[in-house]
Structure 1
Amino acid sequence: DLYLKMNDYDAAINNIKEAMVEDLSSGKIHNLLGIYYEKHGDFNRARKHYRVACDLEPDFIAPIKNLERLGTFRYICSDKYIDYGEEIS
């Protein structure tokens, strides 16, 4: 999500919520919600949404990478390492 990349969190969460109304079962949306919570330091909620994304779309690699990164000993929250996945239309 462009708003997450720009650190415009108010616009990002509004965009994510609107997308969830359209399709609650999208792994991509849950991945973005995980990124939102991760950037806010709420790692438990971030993990939850990354796991939901993995369950909904097992072939979607982004939340798998994000879960692995979040669980590493040398955790780094940086846009360089966050996998946003595909853009939402």
Structure 2
Amino acid sequence: MAEKRKRKIDDECRQFQEEWSLKYFFIKSGEKTLSAICNETVAVMKEYNLRRHLQSKHQEKYVQLEGKVRSENFSKLQNQLIPQRTLFSKSSNEMNP
């Protein structure tokens, strides 16, 4: 009997698409996708997972935004994440000289 090889997510070579940033309020952080709204990551980098996260957790406030208002909100959230990320990397570098 032939043994079936289990499909691994790592073998699929999923890559973050830049269009997902504005569409689903996600940014790429290292090898993970990070929600610009709540700083949560998604287990598998698939468009369906990003859309589901936005619709299930941020339905009321962000799903209905369109056009310039949407891009302004995304830019604001993204700019708030940058200082947080640099603060964490700076403190970890100070602890491990």
TM-score in same-fold range (> 0.5): no
**Which TM-score band (shorter chain)?**
under 0.3
Bigger Rg, which one: 2
